[in-house]
Structure 1
């Protein structure tokens, strides 16, 4: 760690510019201002002096690129870190309490007298803070109190997984302060999943945390969720002449719990028909062979969703191979196939029975028309509401954004890049 005053001087001298460039912070003047304001926030919030030893840490949001609703069936996914992050200044405080101040939100204080889930903290930041400390302690590391001042560009509800970025950020901080940087990115991701599942109370796969923690584009095979196989895939969209756009459909996730729950439930029903717990354990050939009886037992939508799983699971490996081989046209074709499969087989574009409001379908139709036969677009994340994803040729980007925002609202089209660096200590 470095003294707070020394970090300020290094920032002013441009010594952090290289690190910020690697994190795709864009305009360095704005980046320096952001870090300076972060240091000010830490100092004012916690009464720190210029001699306080601090660390600057960052964890990115993530985007799902391939494998829609495949991870919960122990399938494959392709995901990537993005250039929006949680940035934090952190330091030990010599107490047994973690103080976490996210800019613009109430202070969260978690006493470490218990490292078990607390019922009253469910679905709160405090649960994630306690959960991540518990996971580090479970691995034998002496976690104690520390202070964090964080500023996030990964807005909640953006489909970029702000909760996973927060978990990874805490993991990076604890790894640096208490674990001698011994924890690898996949372990930090697994800690985040446990914190979210057990302490926060939200069932989730491991895709979000892994993409944020590892960085770049990653193909992840969840055949064994306890030991996922992670394959890093190099991708530089700028050099390929494309931009990644995340487009807000304008629809809210509220009141859609049953829609989301029905996807793994119905896929699970197909697996259970064959005496298995997830579809990865069932051969696609067996599903097709027993199709008439299976339809009677579980219903047609469940069967179609299972067929989507098998197709999208295979596509992930094909997409990763296409990127590795530099065949971006093949990759884009697979993105479009994934999007069509999600719409037709998985059926996670429009909530059941919705007629008047079909925001995701409209967003996809607008994006497809605006691409004019180039690029690709698909649902992003869980579906039914929220965001879609598009890969847009750079020479078409401004026209694309103008057309999309004229139909869906100003500010609805966010242009992002794949960040090559995952959770990291930016300066220490």
Structure 2
């Protein structure tokens, strides 16, 4: 798929010129002539509903956003992928003649190798290429910089070697495989799917091999609202164990009922057996399972509310979801660092600034990073000022929804 720069950025394209020029200059510095090189883009994502439900085959609501990672790439005729990001000093090199998981890999290299391995397993062509990238998706912020990077790499492989034939759903599954198997993070499919598909998307992962994907419309300006995320300053990149504990405990609760995933557990049977489940799995596993049942249901109800134009009902459900994450999912701060509670503080400050209007909730994986709020436009300036007094200038980001996922960019 291809998209023009004006389609991707609208009036903001003028502000993007410098980044594209920097990427081209960087490519030429590290890899030489850029004449046949092509630009690619993949967006970050914002989770709207379904906090930590995807990895237990639940339902979610998410959107691609206007913050993206952009790369310039071209084939190099070698059996090596070389990738340089502005944000890192190193050039990552991956020998694609050997695609088994490599213990010496870390970060980007492990993801690139995993993507190539999965593409080859699925019958797609792979090859060597050079790529230079620069991102606006805040790392460790909950906007899923990792998924954006993964979708960018899949898009490059698709366009350079497969005529752009890797469809968005397959691209998301390839990216998730790389993160699960090669990077070691047991994520669900929400992040990659939202980045790959684009727009506002309701997703049902009851059968994760054939997810049900439905687009929704969300024109916040028409309702008099803005969508904001606040970067609380905490980086969640090193909190894999905290994230991993959530699906592990949910699956431990499911296993008590002879199931692998909570989506397949009868909710009534669950509530009838809480006492025995506490003894078998622990209180936090019980609470996190309770969160799954409610947030899975809320994600579907939020999508229906948007379809019906019931924005006030949608906001009520966002608030309900936020309370469940705070109280039962317990992903607003890391148990390994209880003194650092940036997200909890941001939620408390946001509630004060919103004056009973709008809604706010933990955003994405949680533990550190960002919180999300739906802010009435007449409060937006005061909200931004108030949040940035606490978290620093530039901490509050007003997001817009991007209607396409991973694409080749036509200048």
TM-score interval, normalised by the smaller of the two chains: over 0.9
Q: Structure 1, unaligned stretches of length 5 or more?
A: 2-15
Q: Structure 2 vs 1, CA of residues 356 and 94 (structure 1 numbering), >3 Å: closer, same or farther?
A: closer
State how 1:290-329 maps to structure 2 within 5 Å: 290-329=273-312
Give me the CA root mean square deviation: 2.2
Name the structure 2 match of 1:220: 203
Residue pair 2:155, 2:407 contacting (<8 A) in 1 also: yes
Q: Secondary structure of 2:111's partner? A: helix
| Residue among 40, 49, 54 paired with 1:66 | 49
Name the structure 2 match of 1:12: none
Name the structure 2 match of 1:103: 86
| Residue among 19, 22, 28 paired with 1:34 | 19
Q: Structure 2 vs 1, CA of residues 32 and 252 (structure 1 numbering), >3 Å: closer, same or farther?
A: closer
CA shift, 1:200, in A, is 2.0
CA deviation vs aligned residue, 1:201-230 (integer Å, no higher than 9, x gap)? 222111111000000111111111222211
State how 1:358-377 maps to structure 2 within 5 Å: 358-377=341-360
Name the structure 2 match of 1:7: none
Bigger mean CA offset, 256-265 vs 412-421: 256-265
TM-score norm. by structure 1 comes to 0.90
Q: Secondary structure of 1:119's partner? A: coil
Larger Rg: 1
TM-score norm. by structure 2 comes to 0.94
CA shift, 1:73, in A, is 1.1
Residue pair 1:66, 1:338 contacting (<8 A) in 2 also: yes
Residue pair 1:259, 1:351 contacting (<8 A) in 2 also: yes
Q: Structure 2 vs 1, CA of residues 323 and 24 (structure 1 numbering), >3 Å: closer, same or farther?
A: farther
| Residue among 102, 106, 116 paired with 1:118 | 102
Q: Report how many aligned residue pairs link the two structures.
A: 410
| Residue among 269, 283, 286 paired with 2:266 | 283
CA deviation vs aligned residue, 1:360-414 (integer Å, no higher than 9, x gap)? 2211010111111111100012222221111112221111010111123222212
Question: How many Å separate the matches in 2 of 1:129 and 1:352?
Answer: 31
Question: How many Å separate the matches in 2 of 1:127 and 1:226?
Answer: 23
Residue pair 1:249, 1:387 contacting (<8 A) in 2 also: yes
CA deviation vs aligned residue, 1:225-274 (integer Å, no higher than 9, x gap)? 22221111122223332221111233443775554333223222221111
CA shift, 1:304, in A, is 2.0
Residue 265 of structure 2 corresponds to residue 260 of structure 1:
no
Q: Secondary structure of 1:226's partner? A: coil
Q: Structure 2, unaligned stretches of length 5 or more?
A: none
Residue pair 1:22, 1:420 contacting (<8 A) in 2 also: no
CA deviation vs aligned residue, 1:284-308 (integer Å, no higher than 9, x gap)? 0101222333333333332222111
Question: How many Å separate the matches in 2 of 1:143 and 1:261?
Answer: 31
Question: How many Å separate the matches in 2 of 1:353 and 1:258?
Answer: 10
Name the structure 1 match of 2:37: 54
Q: Structure 2 vs 1, CA of residues 326 and 407 (structure 1 numbering), >3 Å: closer, same or farther?
A: same
Name the structure 2 match of 1:405: 388
Residue 137 of structure 2 corresponds to residue 161 of structure 1:
no
Question: How many Å separate the matches in 1 of 2:20 and 2:261?
Answer: 45
Q: Structure 2 vs 1, CA of residues 296 and 37 (structure 1 numbering), >3 Å: closer, same or farther?
A: closer
